Structure 1
Amino acid sequence: MSVDDPPLFTTAEWSPGGRRFGPSRRTTGVCLSAAALLAAFAYDYTSVPSGTPLVAGWDPVMLDWPFLLALLVFAWGVVVPLGRNRTPTLRYWARLRADPAAVAALVGTGLFVVVGAVGPALLGRPTANAMHISQPPVFASVDTTTAINCLGTVTDGRCHGTWRYPLGTSWTGRGVLRLVVGGAHVALKVALIASLLIVPLATVVGLTAGYVGGRVETLLLRYVDVQQVLPAFLVYIILQFYVGRSLFLLVVVFGLLNWGGVARLVHGEVVQRSEEPFVLAAESAGAGHLSVIRRHVLPNVSSTVVTAATRQVPLLILTEAALSFMNLNDIDLLSWGEVIAIGLQRSPFVTWWPWAGALVALTLTVVAVSVLGDALRDVLDPREA
């Protein structure tokens, strides 16, 4: 970027006084989509008997509704603006594609989102099959004493894998591919729903503390200090003894208690932006505080919010996997941590593919999202590069 190019996220809006008031089209779209989702939830909760599919064989559980809401917010808050504002989007892409690692991370993260969102609907839930126990992957083989009912070819006492189960099966006969896809679905749920809580809480607290200042700033930052002393991991472990293990409890605890670091980053950026000439000029011109925040401060700290939230995602995914690995989460979820734990308990060196597949998927996802978070920081705010 040349020295004459303005920072992409240092913008000021100087629209005329006769501008149209009211919610934007995007805000209206979010509200209408959320209202439709709420209506569907109310209908399912009040009119559809338990165990009866709502539509097309889909029987939603409680956590599916906030997951769908998070997908809607992501679509309206990220995808739609990128599609409408093509000029800055092309600039972002030009910067991103200059780094091959960032492009690979973007592809990996996009694959994780797509697989986690629609994969289970396409492949179905993994089911046990006693006749298909411990089938090897298509690229490997195992002794026929391990895969007793071999589905592939048998050569010299070795059972070879088949494309029916490209990644093999577990000791219960579940397809490893479906287990990996199901784990991606669980990880995506945790990441999106927790972020749906983290982002607005951190943004509101950081904006308020940074812009208002004074006692309000001191009080809010002291609360953030106290909250960060109390680890969300420990709170979850304690609460699950009282209310039971569930993914819902996990995302609520981490969503409500894990936003302090993001709020501090937003606060620091707001303090800096509040001293910019365009903010001071808007205040001198008589603009109200809410107008200044919405039109001048918030747009210029959005890059900090995006990058900070993105860098929270790997931590959330690893935390859920760790809790599942230690059998501290819902055992019916079949998350990556659960698959790894079960695989390591049963002949980990003979039937290695169940835990290895989940471990590779977990590792690649965490690395991809982490690298993408660093790349977005450099792309959205070149001053940090």
Structure 2
Amino acid sequence: MTTEASPPAAPAGPRALARQRRRRAAVRFWRQYRTHRAGLVGLAALALFALLALTAPLTVGSDVAGVTDAPGRPMESPSAEFPLGTDRFGRDLLGLLVWGSRVSLLVGLLAAVLSVVIGALVGITAGHYKGMYATVMMRVTDWFLVMPALVLAIALATVLPRSLGTVILAIGVTSWPTTARLVRAQTLAVESRPYIERAKALGAGHVHIMTRHVLPNVMPLVLAQTTLMVSGSILTEATLAFLGLGDPTVVSWGGMLQDAREAGAVSAGDWWYLVPPGIAIAGVALTFTLCGRAVESVLNPRLGVAR
């Protein structure tokens, strides 16, 4: 009895091959990331912060920020009922701390993404087109670099209406120059490779070269820069809120510090009003920094970042 041989499997298409490469790259990235103990600690802490922010409506309720019908007396010290005490309106500070994580993380992430997108766009185009365009864009970048970013953000937040969108815009449009410089240097290195010359000889246009050849090669740098930028964006948001330039209708960690200052918590020694939001800001900034350093070390092992 003879058996017919099964026909050979059809070759995988380009999309399937691309998915396989991305899957293998993700597995390889995670395998290397796991070797960084500080990165794993930062990732676990980040997951905890994200879980608190996402479950805040279930754990503390959306009415925790209301000043009417506050559950406690103003400026109560920590107790069994209020583990972190109450604020000047009698609101539970623990609930405000959990609810404020939503705004602080959201503003930090969106502002960092906006900053990196602007920086990547300027860096890639300036590295590709060169000439007068690159000269003008780099001089603009240098101007933003020498100007204090916080001062520019304060100026924008003062002129524009007070809202979360204004805070995100103020942080994003003032913190992109470093990313632009790094991405431009990487773009110049990529465009000096022989396959770019071959692509140009085959008739590839500017958009094709920037999106199909340059962008995939600078994406690891952009990813690492995004994770590092989030911590700075969160600190800047807290600073703007502390100075009274944030959205007064939402609760954030910087806004809690500003309320504590206005309530005289510093002179009165009400530490429970000041310390928890300050520790939260420092903790989430450290968390993103640890994750960013680990990502940077995995994507560019030559940096030799300590594990």
TM-score, length-scaled by structure 1:
0.65
2:92 alignment counterpart: 175
1:346 alignment counterpart: 265
1:7 alignment counterpart: none
2:123 alignment counterpart: 206
Structure 1 segment 243-282 matched on structure 2, within 5 A: 243-282=160-199
The answer to whether the Cα contact below 8 Å between 1:342 and 1:355 also exists between their aligned partners in 2 is no
Match of 2:208 among 273, 277, 291: 291
Structure 1 segment 160-171 matched on structure 2, within 5 A: 160-162=79-81, 165-171=82-88
What is the CA distance between 1:366 and its match in structure 2? Answer: 0.6
Q: Does 1:124 find its partner at 2:41?
A: no
Amino acid at match of 2:272: W
Structure 1 segment 92-131 matched on structure 2, within 5 A: 92-120=29-57, 123-125=60-62, 126=64, 127-128=66-67, 129-130=69-70
Q: Quick one: distance in 2 between partners of 1:169 and 1:241?
A: 30
Structure 1 segment 54-65 matched on structure 2, within 5 A: none
Count of equivalent residues: 283
Amino acid at match of 1:371: L
Q: Quick one: distance in 1 between partners of 2:21 and 2:274?
A: 42
The answer to whether the Cα contact below 8 Å between 1:120 and 1:178 also exists between their aligned partners in 2 is no
Amino acid at match of 1:363: A
Higher helix proportion: 2
Amino acid at match of 1:85: R
Change in Cα spacing, 1:353 to 1:215, as seen in structure 2 (3 Å) is same
Q: Quick one: distance in 1 between partners of 2:196 and 2:181?
A: 21
1:63 alignment counterpart: none
Q: Does 1:217 find its partner at 2:134?
A: yes
Amino acid at match of 2:23: R
2:6 alignment counterpart: none
Change in Cα spacing, 1:85 to 1:121, as seen in structure 2 (3 Å) is farther
The answer to whether the Cα contact below 8 Å between 1:341 and 1:355 also exists between their aligned partners in 2 is no
1:74 alignment counterpart: none
Q: Quick one: distance in 2 between partners of 1:238 and 1:290?
A: 35
The answer to whether the Cα contact below 8 Å between 1:206 and 1:267 also exists between their aligned partners in 2 is yes
What is the CA distance between 1:299 and its match in structure 2? Answer: 0.6
The answer to whether the Cα contact below 8 Å between 1:320 and 1:337 also exists between their aligned partners in 2 is yes
Computed over aligned residues only, the root mean square deviation of the Cα atoms, in angstroms, reads 2.8
Amino acid at match of 2:133: V
Change in Cα spacing, 1:222 to 1:358, as seen in structure 2 (3 Å) is same
What is the CA distance between 1:339 and its match in structure 2? Answer: 1.5
2:108 alignment counterpart: 191
1:194-242 alpha-carbon deviations (Å, 9 max, x no partner): 2342232222211111122222221211121223344443234334444
The answer to whether the Cα contact below 8 Å between 1:232 and 1:253 also exists between their aligned partners in 2 is no
Structure 1 segment 1-80 matched on structure 2, within 5 A: none
Q: Quick one: distance in 1 between partners of 2:218 and 2:282?
A: 30
1:326 alignment counterpart: 243
The answer to whether the Cα contact below 8 Å between 1:209 and 1:267 also exists between their aligned partners in 2 is yes
Q: Does 1:359 find its partner at 2:299?
A: no
Q: Quick one: distance in 1 between partners of 2:104 and 2:273?
A: 17
Gaps of 5+ in 2: 1-12
What is the CA distance between 1:273 and its match in structure 2? Answer: 1.1
The answer to whether the Cα contact below 8 Å between 1:236 and 1:253 also exists between their aligned partners in 2 is yes
Amino acid at match of 1:357: P
Q: Quick one: distance in 2 between partners of 1:279 and 1:113?
A: 41
Amino acid at match of 1:132: G
Change in Cα spacing, 1:320 to 1:287, as seen in structure 2 (3 Å) is same
Q: Quick one: distance in 2 between partners of 1:178 and 1:326?
A: 23
Q: Secondary structure at the match of 2:288?
A: helix
1:59 alignment counterpart: none
Match of 1:227 among 109, 124, 144: 144
Gaps of 5+ in 1: 1-17, 21-80, 138-159
The answer to whether the Cα contact below 8 Å between 1:161 and 1:168 also exists between their aligned partners in 2 is no
TM-score, length-scaled by structure 2:
0.80
Greater relative contact order (CA < 8 Å, ≥ 6 in sequence): 2
Amino acid at match of 2:43: L
Q: Quick one: distance in 2 between partners of 1:212 and 1:369?
A: 34
Amino acid at match of 1:364: G
